[in-house]
């Protein structure tokens, strides 16, 4: 009695719950590569190279571990369902086992898969998160607002992370106020003179080389260059990256997590999301390694807590929000935003906005950039311009090696674009040039002046920030967290308001049509 164990490309972990219920003496594992899917989405080539190389190397590891493994490569016109049906027929299988997919659309397609393959499909729980979909739904209950801080404290207690008995380590749940250093502080600290990029990988690995050749042959023209590929593709390499982060960057993570530096794309960030999101690392081991560094005195509590909040808090929280709110969440557009993604971000044109060009360059090169570049620069620009939320989601999904629907809907639709009307964030994350100047080193080399809101030299972020405040004045005035910003707008006299709105029209049109 043979069953087909389907391992999806984002589930490359020996702890995959479908493997846990399978029998290596009778069942057969299948991994299915879909290059047409990559072509349709115009994915960044690093994202494709990461997933395909990791799949092929995972298949080798499973074989070495005694599993019978088939690797299928889908041709144009063929889907996952046909490939699995073919496996069922070839091996006369009596069933299919797979771990729950990480995306809503794939999950919704499972009944169709069962109908197509003609044998029962057993779906095992997604074990790549610490908080199951059901546990999150229980926590959320009937709450009107899903506040991350409350969820995070609950997760700390439930999983006994950074706890001293019943109390949070150090007596506080969050050390965020200690973790908001500016760009000037980053420069003063001397940390900047000690760059700590993630370790380099073996670019000559034969599996990676074969994947790069397949991409060149079958998917010409994807964004990105093969020679810039930088990510680990096995669990062993991923564990080495985690260790490197804990040793070299974790201590500085907290204070400088909100900074963006034109000369250092990594700062003290972990660069672990592409690995976590395809199963090469598990959040539990990342959190445990960070807590271990605190307990041994190797890293300060404020940094460790800051990192734990990202992984045990934010990452689990956005996944929970996703499964609770989909599919409606992907239709939300509370701010009635309908603009396309600015062509400077898609790489069609270069822009004179130095901070935006920096993000576009880093994403083009690495298919990754850190949180503040995503939120304060790319996301903020799209919020202020009124970019349509699902177009923004598509940009992140295609261009980022860690971009998957479950993580982007809450981050992009919710946190960044406020298209959910505040379900997850208490206020829109709108920032003008002055704030960007405080937190980054980009303005020095920019032709615009962050202090000016009108005139040819005015920083587009500053102008668009005030225009956004005017467009959504009623909503912002009614929210205690944005009421002050709303009052700021009313302090301008009518003439100045008119000048700002007129300049905003010019600036927005220039960014959207790619001439600014
Ligand atoms: C507009 C926008 C789009 C984003 N798109 C993605 C995406 O497509 N994929 C993705 O994995 N993350 C996304 N994030 C979240 C976060 O920016 C990235 O996880 C992080 O920048 C990855 O780099 P890092 O591993 O160095 O993270 P670090 O800053 O070092 O953080 C450590 C880890 O915490 C987790 N984490 C931190 N913040 C978040 C968050 N808000 N949501 C979920 N996990 C988080 C990640 O797993 C990350 O690896 C997005 C955030 C914003 C604001
Ligand atoms: S001046 Fe404005 S556009 Fe230029 S880098 Fe600063 S914030 Fe960005």
Say whether pLDDT at 341 is over 90.
yes
444 Cα to the center of ligand 2, angstroms:
8
- Residue of the nearest CA to atom 36 in ligand 1? 310
Give the DSSP letter of residue 402.
T
Say whether pLDDT at 64 is over 70.
yes
Does residue 453's CB lie within 6 angstroms of at least one atom of ligand 1?
A: no
461 Cα to the center of ligand 2, angstroms:
7
Question: Going by DSSP bridges, is the β-strand pair 28-33/68-73 parallel, antiparallel, or unpaired?
Answer: parallel
pLDDT tens-place string over residues 462-499: 999 999 999 999 999 999 999 999 999 999 999 999 99
Per-residue model confidence (pLDDT) at position 404? 96
Per-residue model confidence (pLDDT) at position 76? 64
Using the atom order of ligand 1, give the atom closest to the CA of residue 400: 8
Q: Which tokens sit at 221?
A: 């023209």
The mean pLDDT value for 380-390 works out to 98
511 Cα to the center of ligand 2, angstroms:
13
Q: Which tokens sit at 258?
A: 């909100």
273 Cα to the center of ligand 1, angstroms:
6
Does residue 306's CB lie within 6 angstroms of at least one atom of ligand 1?
A: no
Distance CA 345, CA 348 (A): 8
**Sheet order of strands, 68-73 included:** 68-73, 28-33, 3-7, 95-99, 121-124
Please give the mean pLDDT across all residues of the chain: 95
Using the atom order of ligand 1, give the atom closest to the CA of residue 429: 53
Helix (H, G, I), strand (E, B) or coil at 244: helix
Select the more confidently predicted residue: 276 or 39.
276
Distance CA 426, CA 406 (A): 21
Residue 154 binned pLDDT confidence (cut-offs 50, 70, 90): very high
Distance CA 500, CA 384 (A): 14
- Of 83, 61, 82, 59, nearest to 69 by C-alpha is 59
Place of tokens 């700021």: 488
Say whether pLDDT at 223 is over 80.
yes
- Of 396, 372, 341, nearest to 179 by C-alpha is 372
Say whether pLDDT at 70 is over 90.
yes
pLDDT tens-place string over residues 94-103: 999 999 999 9
- Of 89, 112, 88, 86, nearest to 101 by C-alpha is 112
Per-residue model confidence (pLDDT) at position 94? 96
- Residue of the nearest CA to atom 6 in ligand 2? 443
The domains of the chain are located at 3-124, 133-315, 343-513
Per-residue model confidence (pLDDT) at position 77? 64
Using the atom order of ligand 1, give the atom closest to the CA of residue 403: 8
- Of 103, 130, 44, 109, nearest to 404 by C-alpha is 103
The pTM assigned to this predicted structure is 0.96
Per-residue model confidence (pLDDT) at position 424? 85
- Residue of the nearest CA to atom 8 in ligand 2? 355
Per-residue model confidence (pLDDT) at position 39? 72
Does residue 366's CB lie within 6 angstroms of at least one atom of ligand 1?
A: no
Report the DSSP beta bridge partners of residue 32. 72
- The ligand with the least distance to the CA atom of 436 is 2
Distance CA 29, CA 122 (A): 14
Residue 348, burial from CB neighbour count under 10 angstroms (0-12, 13-18, 19+): exposed
The mean pLDDT value for 6-17 works out to 97
Q: Is the peptide bond before 473 cis (omega within 30 degrees of 0)?
A: no
Backbone φ and ψ for 409, nearest 5 degrees, come out as -55, -50
Indicate the CATH number of 133-315 among 1.10.10.10, 2.60.120.10, 1.25.40.80, 3.30.365.10: 1.25.40.80
Per-residue model confidence (pLDDT) at position 288? 98
Backbone φ and ψ for 477, nearest 5 degrees, come out as -65, -30
Per-residue model confidence (pLDDT) at position 143? 84
Say whether pLDDT at 37 is over 80.
no
Give the DSSP letter of residue 452.
-
Per-residue model confidence (pLDDT) at position 214? 93
Distance CA 100, CA 122 (A): 9
459 Cα to the center of ligand 2, angstroms:
6
Q: How many residues belong to the chain?
A: 516
Per-residue model confidence (pLDDT) at position 164? 97
The mean pLDDT value for 125-131 works out to 97
Say whether pLDDT at 252 is over 70.
yes
The residue to mutate among 446, 452, 458, 463, having the most atoms of ligand 2 within 8 angstroms of its beta carbon, is: 446
DSSP codes, 44-79: -HHHHHHHHHHHHHHHHHHHHTT-EEEEEEPPTT--
What fold does the segment set 343-513 form as a domain?
A: DNA Cyclobutane Dipyrimidine Photolyase, subunit A; domain 3 (1.10.579)
The residue to mutate among 443, 458, 465, 507, having the most atoms of ligand 2 within 8 angstroms of its beta carbon, is: 443
Say whether pLDDT at 105 is over 90.
yes
Per-residue model confidence (pLDDT) at position 116? 92
| Residue 453 · residue 469 · CB < 8 Å | no
Q: Which CATH superfamily is domain 3-124 in?
A: HUPs (3.40.50.620)
Does residue 437's CB lie within 6 angstroms of at least one atom of ligand 2?
A: yes
Per-residue model confidence (pLDDT) at position 36? 74
Per-residue model confidence (pLDDT) at position 26? 96
- Residue of the nearest CA to atom 2 in ligand 2? 459
The mean pLDDT value for 316-340 works out to 97
Does residue 308's CB lie within 6 angstroms of at least one atom of ligand 1?
A: no
The mean pLDDT value for 396-410 works out to 96
Does residue 148's CB lie within 6 angstroms of at least one atom of ligand 1?
A: no
Q: What percent of the chain has pLDDT over 90?
A: 92
CATH topology match: 3-124 vs 133-315: no
Q: How far apart are the first and last CA of the chain?
A: 64
Distance CA 159, CA 167 (A): 13
223 Cα to the center of ligand 2, angstroms:
25
- The ligand with the least distance to the CA atom of 315 is 1
CB atoms within 10 A of CB 17: 19
Per-residue model confidence (pLDDT) at position 397? 95
């Amino acid at each position: 009695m043979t069953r087909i164990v389907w391992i999806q490309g984002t589930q490359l972990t020996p702890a995959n719950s479908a493997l846990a219920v399978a029998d290596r003496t009778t069942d057969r594992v299948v991994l299915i590569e879909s290059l047409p899917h990559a072509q349709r989405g115009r994915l960044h080539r690093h994202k494709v190279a990461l997933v395909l190389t990791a799949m092929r190397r995972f298949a080798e590891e499973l074989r070495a571990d005694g599993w019978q493994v088939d690797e299928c490569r889908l041709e144009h016109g063929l889907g996952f369902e046909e490939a699995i049906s073919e496996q069922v027929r070839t091996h006369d299988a009596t069933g299919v086992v797979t771990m729950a997919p990480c995306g809503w659309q794939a999950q919704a397609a499972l009944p169709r898969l069962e109908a197509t393959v003609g044998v029962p499909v057993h779906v095992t729980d997604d074990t790549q998160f610490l908080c199951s979909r059901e546990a999150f739904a229980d926590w959320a209950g009937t709450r009107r607002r899903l506040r991350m801080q409350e969820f995070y404290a609950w997760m700390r207690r439930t999983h006994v992370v950074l706890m001293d008995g019943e109390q949070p380590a150090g007596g506080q749940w969050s050390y965020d106020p200690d973790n908001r250093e500016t760009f000037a502080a980053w420069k003063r600290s001397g940390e900047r003179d000690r760059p700590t990029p993630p370790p380099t990988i073996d670019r000559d690995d034969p599996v990676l080389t074969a994947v790069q050749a397949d991409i060149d042959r079958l998917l010409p023209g994807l964004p990105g260059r093969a020679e810039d590929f930088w990510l680990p593709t096995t669990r062993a390499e991923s564990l080495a990256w985690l260790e490197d982060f804990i040793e070299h960057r974790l201590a500085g993570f907290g204070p400088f997590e909100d900074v963006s530096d034109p000369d250092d794309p990594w700062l003290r960030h972990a660069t672990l999301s592409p690995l976590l999101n395809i199963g090469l690392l598990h959040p539990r081991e990342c959190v445990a390694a960070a807590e271990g560094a605190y307990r041994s005195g190797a890293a300060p509590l404020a940094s460790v807590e800051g990192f734990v909040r990202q992984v045990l808090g934010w990452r689990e929280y956005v996944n929970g929000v996703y499964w609770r709110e989909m599919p409606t969440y992907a239709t939300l557009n509370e701010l009635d935003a309908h603009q396309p993604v600015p062509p400077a971000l898609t790489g069609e044109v270069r822009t004179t906005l130095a901070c935006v060009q920096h993000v576009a360059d880093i994403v083009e090169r690495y298919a990754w950039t850190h949180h503040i570049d995503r939120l304060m620069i790319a996301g903020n620009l799209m919020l202020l311009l009124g970019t349509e939320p699902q177009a923004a989601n598509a940009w992140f999904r295609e261009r980022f090696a860690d971009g998957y629907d479950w993580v982007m809907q809450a981050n992009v639709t919710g946190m960044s674009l406020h298209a959910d009307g505040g379900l997850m964030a208490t206020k829109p994350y709108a920032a003008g040039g002055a704030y960007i100047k405080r937190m980054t080193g980009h303005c020095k080399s920019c032709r615009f002046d962050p202090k000016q809101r009108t005139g040819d030299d005015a920083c587009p972020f500053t102008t668009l920030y005030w225009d956004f405040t005017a467009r959504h004045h009623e909503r912002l005035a009614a929210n205690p967290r944005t009421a002050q910003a709303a009052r700021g707008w009313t302090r301008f006299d009518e003439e100045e308001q008119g000048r700002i709105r007129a300049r905003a029209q010019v600036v927005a049109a220039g960014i959207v049509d790619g001439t600014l």
